[in-house]
């Protein structure tokens, strides 16, 4: 672990709440730079909604009333992350952004978050049995 910040190791944040907050902020900044065409506005709106939702759903999962409720809320966040991935792929293929490196970085972070949420759901499901 990094001595200056115990929640960081080689630049990766392991506090999921903070990581989701940073992701939401990065999504907001990214969509602000997307094309202002009709297609750009449509896709940027979709990325904005689905890319900022996981942070809120994770907060709801932290306050879950049961293991079943936790799993449900985490699955909703996972669905939002998968949707974000698809919209980011569309925006890079058209392209609807001049910042393709940022688009690819967000895609990579989305994939990592999907893996984290999937693993967390699996762990919670095993604990429920």
Give the CATH number for residue 83: 1.20.1440.60
The pLDDT of residue 116: 98
Let me know if residue 60 belongs to a domain: yes
Let me know if residue 107 belongs to a domain: yes
pTM of the model: 0.87
What tokens were used for 25? 């902020």
Let me know if residue 11 belongs to a domain: no
The pLDDT of residue 6: 39
Let me know if residue 95 belongs to a domain: yes
Segment holding 80, helix H or strand E:
helix 67-93
Distance of CA 61 to CAs 11, 66, 69, 79, Å? 26, 9, 7, 14
Let me know if residue 82 belongs to a domain: yes
* Distance, first Cα to last Cα, the chain: 33
Let me know if residue 4 belongs to a domain: no
Residue 66 φ then ψ, to 5°: -160, 170
Q: Give the C-alpha separation, 17 to 26, whole Å.
A: 14
Tens digit of each residue's pLDDT, the chain (129 residues): 333 443 444 555 469 999 999 999 999 999 999 999 999 999 999 999 999 999 999 999 999 999 999 999 999 999 999 999 999 999 999 999 999 999 999 999 999 999 999 999 999 999 876
CA-based torsion, 78, 81, 85, 91: positive or negative: positive
21: containing domain: 16-128
Give me the number of domains the chain comprises.
1
Q: List, in sequence order, every residue forming a beta bridge with 9; answer none if it has no partner.
A: 12
């Amino acid at each position: 672990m990094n001595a200056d910040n115990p929640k960081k190791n080689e630049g990766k944040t392991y506090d999921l709440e903070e990581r989701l907050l940073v992701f939401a902020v990065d999504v907001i900044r990214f969509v602000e730079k997307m094309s202002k065409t009709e297609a750009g506005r449509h896709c940027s709106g979709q990325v904005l909604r689905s890319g900022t939702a996981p942070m809120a759903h994770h907060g709801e999962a932290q306050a879950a009333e049961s293991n079943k409720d936790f799993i449900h809320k985490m699955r909703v966040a996972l669905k939002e992350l998968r949707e974000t991935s698809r919209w980011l792929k569309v925006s890079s293929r058209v392209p609807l952004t001049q910042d393709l490196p940022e688009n690819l970085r967000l895609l990579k972070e989305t994939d990592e978050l999907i893996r984290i949420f999937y693993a967390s759901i699996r762990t919670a499901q095993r604990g429920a049995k």
